[in-house]
Structure 1
Amino acid sequence: MSLPGKSYGQTDTGFVVPAEEAPHQRTFMQWPVSRKVYRDPVFLEMVQQTIADIANAISDFEPVIMLAAAERHAEARRKLSAKVQLWDIPTEDLWCRDSGPIFAINGKKELAVSHVQFNGWGQKQVHTNDARVAGRVAERLSLPLLATGLKGEAGGVEQNGYGLLMAHESSWLNDNRNPGLSRDEIEERLLAAYGARHMIWSEGVYGEDITDYHIDSLARFTGPRRVLINLPDDPDMSDRFHVAALETYDRLAANGLQVEVIPEPHSVRTNGPEFVASYANYYVCNGAVVMAQFGDPETDSIASETLARHYPGREIVSLNVDVLGELGGGIHCATQQMPFV
């Protein structure tokens, strides 16, 4: 396969999703509120504070919009910086990467929302409001909503902005999202949704976590032909996630990409069966990279130094977001960029 080294320009729709490191107008986030999801009110407040911490950090570099029902604005405002704006768009949970709008730009510098329908990660969680977030944001911004014919989440596909995608089959080729569609059909629709030309698949892991192993917790593009991947120093070959991660590494390397490994932390503050300690789940905003630190001085430092090399000229902001790791996610999962036009 010939991999792109520069933009292929317009696709059939004329809309392309830019790389995350391209300039942003703003960042969107969602305020978590559902007691069906968060039955413990103390834990919910911890989650809300962590989301506020991320929003406040990003707001030092670019505008942030927090989506929440109007009746939730007072509680959110107590934790949010004055620089963070609140919009009256109801939410259940915080995962704006998955339920939020995917913004694309055409050659006329017009914006649209490329709409992959969120369905609660395959009907695994309540999503009455979250399923409508993307459409409601598009309506408020008076942007066209471009149907893709897909159910899924943006966290399940990673794009470099230059015509290349990567994904795990488990998040897409799955009856809980896209029953009856073949991999070729899903690939064609994803390429159209992102304005891309090529795609690299690996198998992933089915049914072991709510996302069916989103790619953005493992590997991220940092340029047209560069990838960062988060791998353990000593993989456990009885662990399905470790085996799948090594397969993804091999697929990426076999396709001629420059793949650099960030080690997983050797020790973390929070131990639990669902805890995700992913340095790859960072967010690139204007002038900064916002990343998780896990309390392991060695690997936290390696991750910070690596991101500084891959994103020169940007400040590296490290946050304790362990509560999101307990939920199986991270900073990237909680954010969605709106590109600058």
Structure 2
Amino acid sequence: MTEINERRKLDRRGFLAAAGLTAAGAALAAVGGEAFAATRPTTRPAALPAAAAGGFAVPVDTVRHTRTWMAWPDSSAIWGRQLAGVQSNIALIAKTVAKYEPVVMCANPAAASKARSACGPAVTVITSIPVDDCWMRDSGPVFRTNGAGGLDAVGLNFNGWGNQQTHAKDSLVAGRVAAYASVPFSTAGFIGEGGAVETDGAGTLMATRSSILNPDRNPNRTQAQVEAAMCAAFGASKVIWFQGVLGRDITDDHVDATSRFLSPGQGTVQMPLPGDNDAWSKDARQQYQILSTSTTAQGGPISVTKLQGPDYDLIRSGDPNFVAAYANYYVCNGAVISSQFGDSRADAAAKSTLQRLFPGRTVEQLNTDSLGAGGGGIHCVTQQQPVP
């Protein structure tokens, strides 16, 4: 059992890197979970103004949304024969979210007709924001509110997960989305992705060192320096750090596949089966231990609910890169959109847990196996725009 899980989880999203894996990315993957240096910075991205923390903060994702942003994949160079399945998953997610709130799908002009046909009339497809791929959580902006009707957006300087995949278009998506939404836009003082940072909306963040402090994102920078930039961008004052898993997947262990904030002082962590001892299972247990013994930015305790993961022997997919993350759910107006993987008992238990964690919302479970084989899930391909 353990050997099977290790094999299946060894290289999440790994095939995505094949189209754009650089020598630096390959070298990083080779070092696995080894420690990485953090020293005095030599370069840094454009910094967010000091006033950024003055009332503006990224809210927890349970607040009401104006719309959801998504991106339509059309690159056979990236996806190969899996492209059709991924497009089908993206369309299913978009149509499901559109039952609860508006969805804007960014598509390249040549692919717009197919996107409109697949997604249906309830989804707005636009061609003014070109994209390389579908991971809007990572390439898109994070929106912030100030509690007084203000809204702005921050770009996290997306660089293709450390230059491991082509991103000439995706690196511009954040600013273009902000322009389309007619909100002020700034760039954060660090390089990262939206899926790499979770916020409780009240000053507390959580992230993995393996992703954020990775030298292919933030070279030669100390944890304290990156942490300060994260807090400035998100309007927070504390970061809860997990060690993470370095070099095993293109994201270097995004936190949103395992641990999520529900509200200030409340979180959930997806747990492995008791007998699983692969790198991802050990990481999940460590995340649970750290989060459940941490405090919020205000000093209060954090109550953590376990979200049981599936049995990899019982899920539909036998893909070695498959990610079966119930925790990668997306909260929209009135609903929680999650995945199901074919382990009927675990699927039902996860739905029950999510229903308990989000009372008053409809929990919808979708078959997103093509995205799972690509190393991601529903949260990875969506980005919320909160109501100001």
Q: Do structure 1's residue 127 and structure 2's residue 172 form an aligned pair? A: no
Deviation (angstroms), 1:19? 0.9
Q: 1:15 aligns with which of 52, 56, 64?
A: 56
Instruction: Name the residue aligned to 1:203.
Output: 243
Deviation (angstroms), 1:276? 0.6
Instruction: Name the residue aligned to 1:6.
Output: none
8 A Cα contact 1:13 1:192, kept in partner = no
TM-score, normalized by length of structure 1?
0.94
**Partner secondary structure for residue 331 of structure 2:** strand
Cα distance per residue 1:177-227 (max 9 Å; x no partner): 000211111111111111112110010010000100000000111121111
Structure 1 counterpart of 2:308, which letter? P
Deviation (angstroms), 1:138? 1.4
Instruction: Name the residue aligned to 1:318.
Output: 365
Deviation (angstroms), 1:312? 0.7
Instruction: Name the residue aligned to 1:248.
Output: 287
Q: Do structure 1's residue 47 and structure 2's residue 47 form an aligned pair? A: no
- Find the aligned partners of 2:179 and 2:321 in 1 and give their Cα distance: 36
Moved over 2 A (4+): 10-14
Instruction: Name the residue aligned to 1:260.
Output: 305
8 A Cα contact 2:53 2:236, kept in partner = no
**Partner secondary structure for residue 263 of structure 2:** coil
Instruction: Name the residue aligned to 1:80.
Output: 119
**Partner secondary structure for residue 151 of structure 1:** coil
8 A Cα contact 2:163 2:216, kept in partner = yes
**Partner secondary structure for residue 247 of structure 1:** helix
Instruction: Name the residue aligned to 2:31.
Output: none
**Partner secondary structure for residue 205 of structure 1:** coil
Instruction: Name the residue aligned to 2:387.
Output: 340
**Partner secondary structure for residue 174 of structure 1:** coil
- Find the aligned partners of 1:133 and 1:86 in 2 and give their Cα distance: 15
Q: Do structure 1's residue 156 and structure 2's residue 196 form an aligned pair? A: yes
- Find the aligned partners of 2:265 and 2:275 in 1 and give their Cα distance: 25
- After superposition, where does 1:99-138 map in structure 2 within 5 Å? 99-138=139-178
- Find the aligned partners of 1:81 and 1:170 in 2 and give their Cα distance: 39
Cα distance per residue 1:214-248 (max 9 Å; x no partner): 000001111211111111122433x1111121111
Q: Do structure 1's residue 26 and structure 2's residue 74 form an aligned pair? A: no
Deviation (angstroms), 1:317? 0.7
- Find the aligned partners of 2:112 and 2:188 in 1 and give their Cα distance: 32
Instruction: Name the residue aligned to 1:5.
Output: none
Cα distance per residue 1:61-88 (max 9 Å; x no partner): 0000000122221111110120100122
8 A Cα contact 2:53 2:233, kept in partner = no
TM-score, normalized by length of structure 2?
0.83
8 A Cα contact 2:266 2:303, kept in partner = yes
Deviation (angstroms), 1:295? 1.2
- Find the aligned partners of 2:342 and 2:357 in 1 and give their Cα distance: 22
Instruction: Name the residue aligned to 2:322.
Output: 275
Considering fraction of residues, name the structure with more strand: 1
Instruction: Name the residue aligned to 1:215.
Output: 255
Structure 2 counterpart of 1:53, which letter? L
8 A Cα contact 2:328 2:338, kept in partner = yes
Deviation (angstroms), 1:98? 0.3
8 A Cα contact 1:30 1:96, kept in partner = yes
Relative to structure 1, is the Cα distance of residues 54 and 178 closer, same or farther in structure 2, using a 3 angstrom cutoff?
Answer: same
Q: Do structure 1's residue 57 and structure 2's residue 102 form an aligned pair? A: no
Q: Which moved more, 1:280-289 or 1:70-79?
A: 70-79
Q: Do structure 1's residue 230 and structure 2's residue 270 form an aligned pair? A: yes
Q: Which moved more, 1:124-133 or 1:53-62?
A: 124-133
Considering fraction of residues, name the structure with more helix: 2
Relative to structure 1, is the Cα distance of residues 91 and 21 closer, same or farther in structure 2, using a 3 angstrom cutoff?
Answer: same
- Find the aligned partners of 2:260 and 2:275 in 1 and give their Cα distance: 20
- Find the aligned partners of 2:235 and 2:195 in 1 and give their Cα distance: 17
**Partner secondary structure for residue 188 of structure 2:** strand
**Partner secondary structure for residue 76 of structure 2:** coil
Deviation (angstroms), 1:152? 1.1
**Partner secondary structure for residue 104 of structure 2:** strand
- Find the aligned partners of 1:173 and 1:58 in 2 and give their Cα distance: 33
- Find the aligned partners of 1:220 and 1:52 in 2 and give their Cα distance: 25
Q: Do structure 1's residue 300 and structure 2's residue 342 form an aligned pair? A: no
Instruction: Name the residue aligned to 1:38.
Output: 79
| Count of residue correspondences | 329
**Partner secondary structure for residue 113 of structure 1:** strand
Instruction: Name the residue aligned to 2:10.
Output: none
